[in-house]
Amino acid sequence: MLKKQWKNIKSWVKFALAICAVVVFVVFYIFNIWSPLRKPVTVVVTKGTSVTSITNYMVKNRIIKSSDLFYFSVRLNGGKIMAGEYDIPRGAGVWTIADMLTHGKVATTTITIPEGYTLKQIKKMLMNMPYLSGDVDCSSSAAVCNLGEGDIFPDTYRIARGTARLAVLDLARKKMVSIKDSMSGFVYPQPLTNWNEVLVLASIVQKETPKTKEMPIVASVYLNRLRKNMRLQADPTVVYALTDGFGDMQGTPLLRGHLKIDSPYNTYRNNGLPPKPISNVGRAAIRSVLKPAQTKYLFFVADGRGGHNFSKEYSEHQKKHGIWRGIKKEINGIVDYNQ
C-alpha cells in the first residue's frame, strides 16, 4: 500500500514539475522570444516621455505585440524608462526591450579626437557627426564655454549616441585636467616655469613629429634654443597664425614669404614661446617636454622617411637641409623652409 502511494506521489511530482517546466517555457517564450521584430530598429526616447506614449509607439510600429506585457515588464524593472537612443535588436522580446529602456542601455559610439588637432578642428569634426546633438559653442561662465587651445585631451571616448557636443568637449576637458594632475610631480625643465609653457612647447612638438620616440629629441632642440635665446623658428606656429588658429594649410604649401606674417604666434619673428598652445596635445608630447632628451642639438629637418635629421651646428644643418630640399623637389617640386 505504502509502495503504491509513494509511486502515486512520485507521479504527481513529475507531473507538477512538467507543468512548471511548461509554464516557465511559456513565460520565457512570451517575454523573451515572442516578438514581431524582423529587423533591428532604433527607438528614441526623449526626456519626459511617458511609459504609455512609448508603449503606444512601439505597438503601432510593431516593435512589441502586447502593451500589457510591456507595462508589466517595465514595472518589474523599476517602473521608469530613461531618455536616450536605443538600438533594439531583431527578435527582441518585451522583457529585453523593457530592461534596455529602464536601465538606460542606450546605443553607444566612439569618438576619437586626434592628437595635434586645434580647437577649431575639433569643433568642426564634432559638428560633422550626425549622431551627436546641440552646438559646440555657448555663452556662460561654465568652463566648457570658455575653452582655450590646449584645454582638450585628444583621446578615444565612448559615449551614448545623441550626447550633446558640449558634453563631449567637457568630457575631454576634464580628462586634460586629470592629465595635468597626474603630472604634477614633474619638475619643469629650464627655462619653462609653468604648465601653460609646457603645453605651448608640447603643442609645437606634437605638430612637428608624429613619432613618439622622436618627440623628446625635438623638445630638446627647442629647449636648447630657448636657453640660448634663439628664435624657435617652428613652422607649425606660422601655420597657426596664417590659418587664424585652424592649424592646417589644407594642401597649400608653406612658402618663405609666409614666414614674415605679423603675429605673436610667428616664432620666426618673435623670441621665446607663443602666448598659448597651437594645438591640443597627447600624453607623449607632454612627457617629451617634461622629460626631454639630453642633447646639444639646435636644428632639425625632415629626412624624407617621416622622421627628422638633427644637427648641432648650422653648417651641418645646411647640408642636411639641402638633401631634404632635393627630396622635396623630387616629390612635388615644392621647397621646404623648415629650420
Does the domain at residues 33-106 carry the CATH identifier 3.30.1490.480?
A: yes
- pLDDT value at residue 335: 45
Question: Taking the domains of the chain in order of start, what are their residue ranges?
Answer: 33-106, 108-182, 195-332
Cα–Cα distances (Å) from 254 to 85, 115, 251, 334, in that order, read 45, 21, 9, 9
31 pLDDT more than 60: no
Closest CA to 208 of 179, 237, 173, 183: 237
Please write the tens of the pLDDT for every residue from 44-89. 999 899 999 999 999 999 999 889 999 999 999 988 999 999 999 9
Indicate if the pLDDT at residue 19 is higher than 90: no
- pLDDT tens digits, 95-123: 899 999 999 999 999 999 999 999 999 99
pLDDT value at 138 more than 50? yes
Supply the mean pLDDT for the chain: 89
Cβ atoms of residues 34 and 22 within 8 Å: no
pLDDT in tens, 64-73: 988 999 999 9
Residue keyed to cell 522580446: 93
Q: Each residue of 200-243: pLDDT tens digit?
A: 999 999 999 999 999 999 999 999 999 999 999 999 999 999 99
All residues at 6 or more sequence positions from 314 whose CB lies less than 8 Å from its CB, including other chains:
298, 299
pLDDT of residue 28 exceeding 90: no
How far is C-alpha 239 from the geometric centre of its chain's CA atoms?
Answer: 24
pLDDT of 338 reads 46
Q: Looking at per-residue confidence, does 308 or 332 come out higher?
A: 308
179, 286 contact by CB (below 8 A)? yes
